Amino acid sequence: MELRKNELTMSIAAALAVAFTPLPAAAVDGGMAAGPTYYEQLVGAGSLADLESSQGGLPGALYVVEAAGGVDYQAVETSGSETTWEVTLEVAERNHERVEAVYDLVLALPLPAGADGSAAFEAEQWGITAQEGTKGASVAFIYGGEKVTLKRNVALERTWLPLIVGAEAGLPDISETGYAYTLWDAVLRYDPGYGNRLQGLATFRYQTGAGVVAPDPDEERNAAFVITWIPTLDPSVPPFTIRLDLRPPPQQ
Amino acid sequence: MCQIDSVKVRISRLDPRAWPGRSERGLHVPAPMPAIPGKDLGRSLTRGALSGLLLGIASLPGPFGLLVFVALVPLLAEIDRGVAPRRAGAAGFVAGLLYFAIGFGFVPFARVGGGLALPAAYLLGIVVLAAPVAAFAALLAWLRRFSRSLPLLVAPGGWIALELVRSQDLIGVPWLHLAYALADLPWLIQAASVVGLYGISCWVASVNSGLVAGAALSPRGRVLLAISLSLPLLPGLVGPAPEPHDGTPSLRVAAVQPGIPESSRHDRASFHPNLRRLLELSTRVVERPVDLIVWPESAYERDLAPNGDAFLVSIANGLGAPLLTGAWRFPRPLSTAKRNAALLVSRQGELIHAADKVHPVTIYERAPRTAISRTLARLGLWTGRFEAGEAASPVAIERTGGSPVPVGVLICIDTSYPDLVRELRARGARLLIELSNEAGTGRWSARLHARIARFRAVEMRTPFVRVANTGPTQWIDARGRLVHALAPGAPDAAVRALELAGPPPLAARLTARVVVAAALGFGIGVSGLSAGFRRRAHRRAARGSGPRFDLNQVMEGSSRWSYERMS
């Protein structure tokens, strides 16, 4: 038992060391490089079980990397006092995690919010379905034999966002932008049959009142984040997160 | 029925003054029964063994349940023959040993707990459980001295008193009741919704008593006895009464049976593969509309801290329906003792504590609480580490297009405690769900549990879903009929809609103690009345008018055991 404790402590220390190593300046997106992925490095020659904790808990920090791709908000239709918006998220081809685990793929997506933080939008869809390919020529993203659809997780928003929004290694605080983070997630089982790299695309439509404006692409805080979390890991292990910068909406 | 002639010689030596005062008062009472000669000890033990064998076989999972109607006959017949209490006790002990040795035959082979704890508990347990059967037989033999009918009338109440006593926490063995042997034949046990578990056990024991008594009755008496003993069959022969519904009378329950072997359960290296299997099976069933997804006992293999578990909430969110799963939880901050619990993630993503196991299995599950159990734990003979929980209230499951449904949640053997289930029903439960795992104790024990679940459905007139890791997973309607079942052993999942329960039946308001007391009271009361009639008849006879009816005299007269015929 004592040995196990020591192993766990050492593993967590190793994990933290990897997590807080400054990123090489050139490596804007670590997922583009060949070699082990974030969780593969963490696990190393040991086993995932060494990094896991039997105590449930939420990480207070994220391991955020800049990723190729981006997010844009576009008003696609205005009728009377209502505007329909379409958000497009793109994740460029990148390595995908090959650690045998069950993952929670969480999308932190800023969406319009009232002054009190309550939602100021009405979703047209109950979920965000991931696609492969390019806009206009995409197919459903199938992983582990299933279509990947991220559903809004209000309970996770209630519990996790207060821990990570505004934290030093967390999500930027966007509370004064008229937007607030929403969390959408899907639990995925590692699919060993999937290739080494993946690429993704997703769109999401919602409606707002007429006064709502798109988030400002020049505001550095505005971004969406895709968090690849192995929830069974010790909460001190920051989940791997890619940042999708806000892009100006494409010209019609 | 009895070989009366062979003991006539000894009877003739009996001194009617052995019961001082009675002859002097002029009362006509039967003499104390003579001791059967020592050479018949083998016969008594053989009859006891035959009863034990029949009881044991009737309790096995298989088509032997009906044997329970005759299983006690050899032992009761031996007592009826008038053997000495000590000898009857020996026969009862042999009966109990065989009964429990066969009935709990799966225990030494169970792969739970480790070490010698279970084999030792098995050997000690069957002796401990057989001792009350010995006392039961000895008591009946002693009562036989007073009247022939008394032991046969007291036997049903006495037997269910034994069943009740061994179900209490001190012994903690709520299995192998006579009634459970009939659970796979639900049409036979519909009266359980009126008289409950102990009522049905009492009926079965009464049939055994009746078979012994019937041999000594007149043809008319036999017919009357047969009719009265058949009355509990009536509810099974009459169709169900229509039950009131609230417009949306069913709940679609998806049950997942992962079939994970005991060796890889709660093994950290297997956590992800096990969870994958649960998710794959769950994903398959949520393609259809579902009101609730249920995973088995401790299927979610993470210990839940008092502040909950976001991952479990995410899983339910992904599945798109409320998720009820077994898990181990720490009930208090900094607590080291765990509870075997059931957690519900609601449609709103709230993590709700649905139930704790109130009766962790002695030896291998319950943490040691007493000096003896702590000593056994130090010797490696007590491996349990869970604390007992408190009885819970039903949890509300939201339906699409209907009002929330109160659902009672039970964990594994808690289903074997009728009082717990009765409480859930009394608090409004309209569906019962049991989360179970018998991967370590094997299919035999799983089949026994499944029988108990089926019995509870009939007894509480409540639909019942039993979700077991290695099966059988079953959807049972409120009359005990199997709506659907998953084959034991194989990973599988399915969804079935079950009609919700109507108002609670009488059995939901009747406690076990009341039934036992009523049965004992009935036996003693009828026997007392019979004795009263007898005395009156004798007085009348002394005054010149003949007796009208005397159960004892009917029985004793026909077998030529009455004092007057022997003296």
Q: pTM of this prediction?
A: 0.85
pLDDT digits (tens, 9 = 90+) for A174-227: 988 999 999 999 999 888 888 778 888 999 999 999 888 999 989 899 999 999
For residue A54, list chain B residues with Cβ-Cβ distance below 8 A: 302-303
Maximum distance among all alpha carbons in chain B? 90
CA distances from B236 to B188, B239, B452 (A): 6, 7, 18
Choose from A105, A182, A232 for mutation: most chain B CBs within 10 A.
Answer: A232
How confident is the model at residue B562, as a pLDDT? 38
Could you say which of A52, A159, A186 has the minimum Cβ distance to residue B318? A186
Which class is domain B250-357+391-509? alpha beta
SS3 at position A217 = coil
What Å distances lie between residue B133 and B51, B52, B148, B202, CA to CA? Answer: 11, 10, 20, 15
User: Cβ contacts (< 8 Å) between A190 and chain B: which residues?
Assistant: 272
Q: What is the pLDDT of residues B253-265, one digit of tens each?
A: 999 999 999 999 9
Residues sharing a CB contact under 8 Å with residue A81, sequence separation 6 or more, in sequence order: A209, A210
On chain A, the residues whose CB falls within 8 A of the CB of B309 are 56
Cβ contact, residue pair A156, B313, below 8 Å: yes
B486-503 pLDDT, tens digit per residue, is 999 999 999 999 999 999
Nearest by CB: B302 against A151, A185, A232 = A232
The proportion of chain B whose per-residue pLDDT surpasses 90, expressed as a percent, equals: 63
> What tokens were used for B390?
């408190």
Higher pLDDT, A152 or B331: A152
Question: Token pair for residue A173?
Answer: 């605080």
Tell me which chain B residues have a C-beta less than 8 angstroms from the C-beta of A101: 272
Residues 6 or more apart whose CB falls under 8 angstroms from that of B347 comprise B321, B322, B398
Chain B partners of A156 at a C-beta cutoff of 8 Å?
310, 313-314, 317, 349
Q: Do A155 and B311 touch (CB under 8 A)?
A: no
A100 to chain B: closest CA residue: B272
Residue A47, pLDDT above cutoff 70:
yes
Mean pLDDT of chain B: 86
What is the predicted pLDDT for the residue at B551?
Answer: 57
Closest CA to A36 of A103, A97, A93, A92: A97
Instruction: At B239, list the tokens.
Output: 């169709």
Tell if the CB–CB gap between A102 and B272 is shorter than 8 Å: yes
Better-predicted residue by pLDDT, B363 or B420: B420
Residue B556 has pLDDT above 70, yes or no: no
Name the minimum distance, in Å, from the CA of B260 to any CA of chain A.
17
Beta bridge partners of A127: A151
Residue B561 has pLDDT above 80, yes or no: no
CB atoms within 10 A of CB A94: 21
3-state helix, strand, coil in chain B (%, to 5): 50, 15, 35
The DSSP symbol for A247 reads: -
DSSP string for residues in B126-175: HHHHHHHHHHHHHHHHHHHTT-SHHHHHHHHHHHHHHHHHHHSTTT----
Interface test with A, best of B266, B272, B338, B346 (most A CBs within 10 A): B272
* Smallest Cα distance from B201 to chain A, Å: 45
Find which of B311, B346, B385 to mutate to test the A interface (most A CBs within 10 Å of its CB): B311
Report whether the peptide linkage leading into residue B186 is cis, meaning its omega lies within 30 degrees of zero: no
Distance from CA of B232 to the nearest CA of A (A): 52
Show me where the domains of chain B are located.
5-239+511-566, 250-357+391-509
Whether residue A63 contacts residue A169, with contact meaning beta carbons closer than 8 Å, is answered with yes
Asked whether B452 and B416 are in contact (CB, 8 A), the reply is yes
Mean predicted confidence (pLDDT) in B431-443:
95
Q: Do B349 and A155 touch (CB under 8 A)?
A: yes
Closest in A56, A101, A154 to B310, CB measured: A56
CB contact under 8 A, A156 and B314: yes
* Chain A positions in Cβ-Cβ contact with residue B329 (cut-off 8 Å): none
Of residues B179 and B173, the one with the higher pLDDT is: B179
Phi then psi for residue B329, to 5 deg, are: -135, 150
Chain A residues interacting with chain B (CB cutoff of 8 angstroms): 47-49, 52, 54-58, 100-102, 104, 106, 146, 151-156, 158-160, 185-187, 189-190, 231-232
Q: Contact, A38 vs A63, CB < 8 A?
A: yes
**What does residue B47 show for φ and ψ, rounded to 5 degrees?**
-65, -40
Within 13 A of A141's CA, how many CA atoms are on the CB side? 24
CB under 8 Å to A71, separation ≥6 — which residues? A87, A88, A89, A90, A109, A223, A224, A244, A245, A246, A247
Chain B residues closer than 8 Å to A155 by CB: 310, 313, 317, 348-351
pLDDT at B48 (0 to 100): 97
Outline where A79-134 has alpha helix (H).
Answer: none
CB-CB neighbors (< 8 A) of B303 in chain A: 54-56
Place of tokens 């993470």: B302
pLDDT at position A75, please? 92
Mean pLDDT of B47-66: 96
In this prediction, residues B47-57 reach a mean pLDDT of 98
Chain A residues in contact with B315 (beta carbon < 8 A): 187
B331 compared with B212, residue with greater pLDDT: B212
- Cβ-Cβ contacts under 8 Å, B307 against chain A: 56-57
Of the candidates B273, B312, B320, which has its C-beta nearest A151's C-beta? B320
Q: With contact defined as beta carbons under 8 Å apart, do B396 and B405 qualify?
A: yes
* A196-200, B168-172, B428-432, range with the lowest pLDDT: B168-172
Confidence of residue A50 (pLDDT cuts 50, 70, 90): confident
Could you please report the per-residue DSSP string of B478-498?
A: TTS-EEEEEPTTS-EEEEEEE
- The whole-number pLDDT of residue B141 equals 96
Place of tokens 């009405």: A122
So what's the pLDDT on residue B190?
Answer: 96
